[in-house]
Structure 1
Amino acid sequence: MRIGAHVDRADPLAEAAARGAEVVQFFLADPQAWVAPEERTDTAALLATDLDVFVHAPYRINVATLNNRIRIPSRKHVADYAAAAAQVGAKGLVVHGGHVDKGHDVADGIANWRKLFTSAKEQFPLPILIENTAGGDNACARKFDALARLWDAVGEFNVGFCLDTCHAHAGGEELLGIVDRVKAITGRIDLIHANDSRDPFDSARDRHDNIGAGEIDPDLIVAVIRAAGAPVVVETPGGAEAQKADIDLLRGRST
């Protein structure tokens, strides 16, 4: 069982070591900005590491939206970040499932996801890992009925899936048996984001908490990890010390 954390992008290998991590995830630039991936000086070290490396795409990306001012740069950013992530040896680029605005049909957002792959000039150099999201009635990957429709549209393109436990809980999907339900739709789970939730079930609020400090029974998170058999990343608050405690807890109870 390989478990690690989302860390600051400045020196992810040092941050991983401070947490005793076997998996590391980080951004390649400011996640709140429309900016290109930053040049890195640690590419050789990242390529040589025995850690599982994942890159999280910027939050502003929304492939599904019908708003051209967001969708068009989103497509370009997915391509640019996928190329940059592959250059540092990442096993996948995590991209949120996105949503359409109120009054629009989720089917249009799903169609836009398909266009991301069919209109790409060439195949992406690593798997795009679509992540389930916590909020929005018009989301493409919050409720699993929408996720099934999304997978019907994009599954043929070797798309991967990232399951976030906080997002599922806050999004109204029970964690008990969730791995089987996801795999029945996607056939795969490539990465687990193991996060507790500060908010109640189906709250639609995306606020992570440390394992055991929030609203989710830690045994449910451990059960998800065991059933999925995928690399695990904690995206929890508190810096290295708190994340190391989360990793140690999960590692101790998952083996």
Structure 2
Amino acid sequence: MRIGAHVDSTDPLAEAAARSADTVQFFLSDPQGWKAPKLREDAERLRAAEVDLYVHAPYVINVATLNNRIRIPSRKLLLGHATAAAAIGARGLIVHGGHVNAGDDLAVGFDNWRKTFAYAADSGGFGVPVLIENTAGGDNACARRLDALARLWDAIGDHEVGFCLDTCHAYAGGEELLGLVDRVKAITGRIDLVHANNSKGAFNSGQDRHDNLDGGTIDPELVVAVIRAAGAPVVVETPGGVAGQAADIDFLRQQLGTERSAA
């Protein structure tokens, strides 16, 4: 099982080595900004690395919204990040499910996701798997509750789309972790990546506040059970820098009975 962490983007491979990580996730630009990613000078080195790479899209992206001033730039930025992720050999581009504003029809948000994939297809496709991530908060979110996720997949499931399951987001979003993998796979048919995070917030709090695996409000054994059931690569997005994340990675390897992958 490939286990790693979300790291600083300056030198992801060095960050991976510091954590003994099999995989790393990082941003290609400011996660709170709208600037398109630039071509990385270390692209060839990243493509040749034995470490698996994942890119997280900026948080500002929201292709579901009915607000044209956000939705249209979001589509463009998502495609730009997919192109940049493909250029470094990333195995996936993670993007939050997004939301509509209060009073707006959530069904339009799901259709806006469908139009996003159609927009990308008209431009030659994303070029890298797009993994939609469940989110923790919002009553108008496209991927917080499983009933909404089912409606989203009805709209986009025929496209080349994957799913990233975040344990903190699910728990804080009000979804029980016990049996969650089966319930998700009944909708999506797949889980491509697990974000293994404990939660500072309580169950159904709607708070997106990650904690280390041995802290927070989630029984760590439940996080391990989700990972074991999902059978997918794992990324911890936990605090504490190198030491904190390395400890979380070691904890997971011990609990899962795995060693660091050779490649």
Q: Please give the TM-score of this superposition, normalised by the length of structure 2.
A: 0.96
Match of 1:51 in 2: 51
Deviations 1:171-218 (A, max 9, x none): 000100111001000000000000000010000000000002100000
1:112 to 2:112 alignment: yes
Unaligned runs of at least 5 residues, structure 1: none
1:151 to 2:153 alignment: yes
Match of 2:234 in 1: 232
Unaligned runs of at least 5 residues, structure 2: 258-263
Deviations 1:95-142 (A, max 9, x none): 000000000111110010000012222221011100000000000000
The separation in 1 between residues aligned to 2:34 and 2:21, in whole angstroms, is 30
Superposition map of 1:61-76 within 5 A: 61-76=61-76
The separation in 1 between residues aligned to 2:154 and 2:51, in whole angstroms, is 32
Deviations 1:14-71 (A, max 9, x none): 0010001001100001100010103312111111111111000000000100011100
The separation in 2 between residues aligned to 1:199 and 1:79, in whole angstroms, is 33
Match of 1:194 in 2: 196
Match of 1:83 in 2: 83
The separation in 1 between residues aligned to 2:252 and 2:176, in whole angstroms, is 19
Runs of 4+ in 1 over 3 A off after TM superposition: none
1:27 is aligned with what amino acid? F
The separation in 1 between residues aligned to 2:254 and 2:76, in whole angstroms, is 41
State the secondary structure of the residue aligned to 1:53: strand
1:167 is aligned with what amino acid? H
State the secondary structure of the residue aligned to 1:157: coil
The share of aligned pairs that are identical, in percent, is: 69
Match of 2:261 in 1: none
Match of 2:103 in 1: 103
The separation in 2 between residues aligned to 1:63 and 1:105, in whole angstroms, is 14
Match of 1:22 in 2: 22
The separation in 2 between residues aligned to 1:23 and 1:218, in whole angstroms, is 21
Match of 1:178 in 2: 180
The two structures, once aligned, show a CA RMSD in angstroms of 0.7
Kindly tell me the number of residue pairs found equivalent between the two proteins: 255
1:31 to 2:31 alignment: yes
| More deviation, 162-171/112-121 | 112-121
The separation in 2 between residues aligned to 1:41 and 1:226, in whole angstroms, is 37
The separation in 1 between residues aligned to 2:31 and 2:104, in whole angstroms, is 26
State the secondary structure of the residue aligned to 1:119: helix
1:233 is aligned with what amino acid? V
| More deviation, 37-46/57-66 | 37-46
1:130 is aligned with what amino acid? I
Given candidates 214, 217, 239, the residue that maps to 1:215 is: 217
2:231 is aligned with what amino acid? G
2:42 is aligned with what amino acid? D
State the secondary structure of the residue aligned to 1:237: coil
The separation in 1 between residues aligned to 2:116 and 2:20, in whole angstroms, is 37
1:243 to 2:245 alignment: yes
The separation in 2 between residues aligned to 1:66 and 1:225, in whole angstroms, is 35
The separation in 1 between residues aligned to 2:223 and 2:200, in whole angstroms, is 14
Match of 1:168 in 2: 170
Match of 2:260 in 1: none
2:248 is aligned with what amino acid? D
Quote how far apart the aligned CAs of 1:84 are.
0.2
State the secondary structure of the residue aligned to 1:156: coil
The separation in 2 between residues aligned to 1:98 and 1:232, in whole angstroms, is 22
